[in-house]
Amino acid sequence: MSDNWQRGLLAPSSDDLATCVACGLCLPHCPTFRLTGRETASPRGRISAMRAVEEGNGTVDDSFRTMMDECLACRACEAACPSGVPFGRMIEGARAQAEPGRPVAQRTTRRLGLSWALSRPRVVRTLGLGATVASAAGVQRALPSALGALMPPGRVRDALRPLPAASGTGEPAALLSGCVMDVAYRPVHRATIRLLTSNGYAVSPTRPGGCCGALAAHYGQPEAAKRMARARIAEVGDAEVVVVNAAGCSGHMKTYGELLADDPEWAPAARRVSARVQDLLEMDLDVPARHLGPVAVHDACHHLHAQGIEPRPLLRAGGAEPVELGDGGHCCGAAGLYGLLQPDQARQLRRAKSEAIADAGAPVVAVANPGCAMQIEAGLAEIGASVRVAHPAELVS
């Protein structure tokens, strides 16, 4: 596994590529294939291009890069594939492979944002608070819609109020602060702390603004992803439980052991932390019984497809009546930086998801990933739907 994974970071491994039998059963599940109808925007087409490069029959050129860039990395294909194709790590490998040939300006910008800035919690916090001020000044209307929703003025106070360094007594639990969740959704952290302390945990958040490295891994920056993984591993120390309340982050942190498998100094700690990571939604928690009424449910891709986790049990335990969306559970189009890098497709997916949520008729939608929450808030505002977006922890705590 470790050999495959290491090779997979620089390019998809031949073993992984060989698992695809080109049956096409994944195609109806792929949001970009459904939008475009193009084989080149399908899982099978992407794997075929990866395989052509691996076998020396294709090159990593602009068309290869576009095929990989248009992918949401939502992993719906992986969940649907009967052959067990590990598409998540294959697309990460293909993007790392495609990175060196990008134009210099693009490469520099990506390295600056995904490697330099995200590796520095203080920079993350400063940029986030800068977005807050810009938003409060009305500048957000000039930003792409998902980014503009990052910091509505009402979040200024939340973003500035620090989390307690330690809360509660009992079993030690580290809580990932993260980057976007920490800057934009601190009330979710407060709700998470309430839930955990009432369930007998002593909670210590990791460093404010400290990214888990998922974005770097998804966008072709494996060395930066490893750097961030080491920093978070050092912060969680010996905590028996590492709680993560964002779908993309929990999914990624569970792969720390594989990510650092070839690093003799960090591999044991990385494996230990991966094994201790628990997404908040998969924990067995007691929650106050009350009547919350109908709550529409959005399944984050990195919960549903990557981890097989869903929010309904926690919502039901808290007295909510989950309301299903009629859109087949497709990706909302947030997908990390997709809204910035592929704005047209992201807009179409955002609109479809927002309309499905509005059609569900519930006054609130449960969303357990900060990127999805930003995207859906922006989409609901675009179509004029007054549905509140809330993390399940906020609803049941």
For residue 222, what are its two tokens?
A: 């494996």
Rounded CA-CA distance 304/274 in Å is 19
Q: Does 217 bind ligand SF4 (CB under 6 A)?
A: no
Q: Which residues have CB under 8 Å from 53's CB, separation 6+?
A: 11, 59, 60, 64, 97
Q: Does 188 bind ligand SF4 (CB under 6 A)?
A: no
Q: Does 334 bind ligand SF4 (CB under 6 A)?
A: no
Q: Does 192 bind ligand SF4 (CB under 6 A)?
A: no
Distances (CA, A) of 308 to 282, 299, 367: 10, 10, 15
**The one among 24, 130, 200, 268 contacting ligand SF4 by CB under 6 A:** 24
Q: Does 25 bind ligand SF4 (CB under 6 A)?
A: yes
Q: Does 74 bind ligand SF4 (CB under 6 A)?
A: yes
Rounded CA-CA distance 293/322 in Å is 8
Q: Answer whether 17's CB lies under 8 Å from 90's CB.
A: yes
Q: Does 306 bind ligand SF4 (CB under 6 A)?
A: no
- The size of the interface with ligand SF4 (CB under 6 A), counted in residues, is 26
Rounded CA-CA distance 355/345 in Å is 16
Which lies closer to ligand SF4 via its Cβ, residue 31 or residue 222? 31
**The one among 11, 44, 206, 364 contacting ligand SF4 by CB under 6 A:** 44
Binding mask 82-101 for ligand SF4 (x = CB under 6 A): -x-x-x--------------
**The one among 81, 297, 314, 334 contacting ligand SF4 by CB under 6 A:** 81
Q: Does 365 bind ligand SF4 (CB under 6 A)?
A: no
Rounded CA-CA distance 224/231 in Å is 11
Rounded CA-CA distance 335/312 in Å is 22
Which lies closer to ligand SF4 via its Cβ, residue 95 or residue 230? 95
Instruction: Report which residue type is found at 174.
Output: A
Residues in contact with ligand SF4 by the rule CB under 6 A: 20-26, 29-32, 43-44, 46-47, 71-77, 81, 83, 85, 87
